[in-house]
Structures are given as structure tokens and as C-alpha cells.
Amino acid sequence: MSYKTAILGATGAVGAEFLKILQQRNFPLASLKLLASSRSEGKKIAFGGEELTVEEVTEKSFDDVDLVLSSAGGSISEKFAPIAVKAGCVVVDNTSAYRMDPSVPLVVPEVNPEDIKTHKGIIANPNCSTIIMNVPVWPLHKVNPIRRIVVSTYQAASGAGAAAMDELAEGARAFLEGREFTPTVLPHPAAFNVFSHNSDVGPDGYNLEETKMVHETQKIFHAPEMLITATCVRVPVMRAHSEAINLQFTNPITEDEVREILSSAAGVRIVDDRERSYFPMPLDATDKDDILVGRIRSDISQPDGCGIEMFVSGDQIRKGAALNAVQIAEML
């Protein structure tokens, strides 16, 4: 079988990654349609030895399509995903539009692939930070149920799109040259700086990124009772997010047990060399499928032996977005 596929948001950072991954994984394409806003209509993009022309997305764009990989913003997905489903497509949506819709499965293939079967035309791709945390945490939770997660993220400019990555590069040049620089994509200068994630802060003091990590993980794990708290910040890294994760298990667990579980876990690679002080880094995670996991150690603040600390890095554009969606499509 091969599938008539469309990429909605084809000219963005995730859209470009979709194209790369579809080719690398030899996805069974009968045809490929590139869709974007009117601003990108007519743009030529190379794929598989030929040039494809970007089309403006309209209500008629999905009439001859089986599968839609969508990453064009929540409002676009809210408008066009139901139209695509009505036309007979399955939509794998990378925006936040449908993630918490109880009728839409929210899927990380290494965690809850069985949920794909419940779809009614739309399958949601989780937030990038959620995916990067869930891949290494889930195999541990299966063995020894986790009661509480405390996570702090170090999120790259890539999470805010290609324009933010360009802004980080230009801001760094301006800083080193002593020039004034005013950001227009991110709310604060990203170069040589760290600031709270650029999403709205709610009345409880949590920003939207932090809230996503909490509620999405509870939904994916089918564990509404799980206690989760998050602090999400931007760091001057071009690509790949990192996270410091503190876990409280139901029963005591050792470092060696954690390493043994993760050594055979899908989508995980252990990078934990204490002698060389070599642990997960964004540069090593960039353009890689696996989530890198290291700094695995017992939490000395939990004397009952139920606490574990670890540090992870994962490519936000790849596994945190495009690859996860393509894996869902492969399972379909």
C-alpha cells in the first residue's frame, strides 16, 4: 500500500523535517502535496529528486488525499482538520488544537500506540517537551509506578520555529559585535540569556508549556492521578531540548535497575559516563531519533530509596515533532 499524503505547514521548520524523515524512512508515498498559506504559494521545494510546488491550502485541498501531516498552527488545524477528515483523510496533527480533546488520541508511539486505534480521523501529536520526557519515563513507570514527576526544561530556539532560530543567530552576532538588537520573534534576547518559556502565564503562575507537560503526560499515561510539576525556560541553544527530571516511584529503585530498564527501551540511548563527565547534550541530540539519557542517580533527598534523578536531551524538531508524527502514520 502507498498513500496520497499532504503536509500542511510544509514551509516551516517541522514541515521541512517531515520531508527529510519521509525520505529517510522510505515512507510509502503514492503522492505528496505541500500545503501552506498564500504567502508561500508557488514556492519550490526539492524532494526525492524532483521539485514540488507549494499550494495554498483551501477547503478543496484534501479531496484526493489519504493522510495529512499537519504542523501549521492551532487555528489552521481547527479550521482544516475537520474538513480533511470529512474528505476521508486521517490527520496527524502536530499543534495543540486537539491534544486535550477527550475524543482525540494523544500518542507517543513508544508509550501508547494502542490509542491510535480509537481515532475518529484525527490523532494528536503531543508537545515536544512532553514527548522528550515521556519516552524515557514511560518504561520506568511500567516497571515501578511513578507517583510524582518534577521536571525543569532547557528549551532551544527551535521550539519557537525557524524564525526564532534565525533570531538567535542574529542576536548572537549583534551581541559579539557590540550592536544593539531588538528581538521580534521571542519576547527577550535569546543569545547569552535564559528566560521563562514564551507562553502565556495563567492565574496559577504556570505558563502554558508547563501546563501542557502536566496534562498531556497524565492523558498519555492514562494516569490522571499522577503528580507532575514543571518549570520551562528558553536557553541559547539552536536545536534540541534538555530536561532535568526528578522521579518519585511507588517502590524503592536503584540506579542500576534504571539503567537496565532504559538500556532496552525503545527510543532511548544512555549517555552516562561519569569518569569523563560526558552526559546528554543538545549538540549530540541534534538530528538524532533517540532521546539521550544520563546523570542517572539516586535522589539523596528521598531517603526511602524511591527517588531517581536524570538528565535528558532530545531533538525538538525531530522526535519532539516530525518523527513522532511520521511514526504514528507508519503505525496507521
Q: Which three cell numbers stand for residue 239?
A: 536545536
Residue 152 DSSP label: E
Residue 128's nearest CA partner among 318, 280, 265 is: 318
Decide: 18 and 94 in contact? Cβ < 8 Å.
no
- Residue 161's contacts (CB-CB under 8 Å, 6 or more residues apart) are 12, 13, 185
C-alpha dist (Å) from residue 332 to 16, 108, 141: 22, 13, 26
The C-alpha torsion from 236 through 290 and 107 to 122, rounded to 10°, is: 80
Q: Which three cell numbers stand for residue 191?
A: 543569545
Place of cell 478543496: 60
Q: Which three cell numbers stand for residue 321?
A: 515533532
Residue 39 DSSP label: G
Catalytic residue list: 128, 241
